[in-house]
Amino acid sequence: MKTRQCVGSPGKTRPRGPRGFKGEKGDASDTSVLMNQLDILKNKVERMEKIPEVALQYCLMGMKSGAIPSSSISASTNHNAKHEAKHGRLDRNSGVGAWCPLSTTVGQWMQVDLGSPQLINATVTQGRVQHGSAAYWVETYKVACGITDVHLSTITEGGKDKIFQGNTDTTTKVIGWFPEPMTCRYVRLYPQTWQNFMCLRMDILKANCPRKSTERT
């Protein structure tokens, strides 16, 4: 004999009760925390490297870009045709990749004619492009500027000729800030000390270039 089951009609649906409190979020794994920290650090480094470089390009007067013609770049002497002053442009690799004088003696100089008096803020230097083990750069230098190349005044600080800190390798761009902006048409660099041989590449910064935007190069 089959047993019959009594099935009543469905009951009425009642209103939904209030939602319970949300549980606490579990701890992230050590790996995910580390990856997040690395991503944050990477983004910070990229911003530090890219933003100042863009600002620096905006501030340069024209040695790197070529806006300053080779006829406006001169020197006391040149080691040879491949080391003429026209090869001393920032980031350039023409000739042998820098200006180098005939002899490494204090008093040699490299000069840029801006074409007209300009308000400028700093110089930027690099060493010579490295070829094999030969590494040359200027460690310290003085700067003279003026409206004519006959009457140049050496930049001073505290009543003495300012010694600008130059390079410590062949590639890094180092900014030599003036104590205050100067109005110059001619800008002349006098190397004072150097690594192996007196060689450099350079450019000049406009006076409206803020220091904070170019602290890292």
Quick: pLDDT tens for 144-166: 999 999 999 999 999 999 999 99
pLDDT recorded at residue 7: 54
Structure tokens at 172: 């890094």
Residue-wise pLDDT for 165-174, tens only, equals: 999 999 999 9
How far apart CA 216 and CA 214 sit, in angstroms, is: 5
Contacts of 82 (CB under 8 A, 6+ apart): 95, 96
Q: pTM for the full model?
A: 0.74
Write down all domains in the chain, each with its CATH number in brackets.
57-214 (2.60.120.260)
CA distance 75 to 86: 9
